[in-house]
Structure 1
Amino acid sequence: MKLSHIRRSACFSVVVVVGVLAGTSASFAISQDAQLIVDGVTAAGGASKPACSDVSALTKSVTDVTTELAVAGKLKGDPKAAGKEAGEFIYASCK
């Protein structure tokens, strides 16, 4: 899979996540791939309260971490789906 395709897929999924999430609850289980992304975003400081107030910063953090993990071969499934799931989880946790 080409890097440009992964980057576009991850970016698209995160943009969709941010646009759709108004009432999602943070109390749900997420996949192993999504958890890797959440951990990466959290370690980078992208899930902090200030970043949560800036949707663009949050979207960029999730996209960057998803792309990094996908390129490194650390995601077992679809990077687009994992990025979407992680973005939903992080966004819901921001509330």
Structure 2
Amino acid sequence: MNMLLKNTAAAMLLLAGIGSAAADDVIIQPEQDTVIREYVKKQPLASVKLPGVELNVGTALPETVEIHEVPNVKYRYVVVDNRTVLVDPGTRKIIKVYD
């Protein structure tokens, strides 16, 4: 019985972790994505180099990187290594990488 309780508790903790990770996912609506893509095309930025930083969703950008506003969108963008990335300004984490 004791082993059953431990296994159940472990499973619940695992599922809670998965649920909180999924809650952090950012969903960009297609209309908003179109607005962002059009804006960054019209407002090109010089690319910055960030050696050792992988451009993956969830990677936090250093404070030294200037992120730029997209009007009427709560997210910001920057061009790193010739790739446009969308960033959550509160956490500075990459939420989308555009190719």
Structure with bigger helix share is: 1
Higher RCO (Cα < 8 Å, 6 or more apart): 1
Q: Which one has a bigger Cα radius of gyration?
A: 2
Q: Which structure features the higher share of strand residues? A: 2
Q: TM-score, normalised by structure 1?
A: 0.28
TM-score (norm: length of structure 2)? 0.28
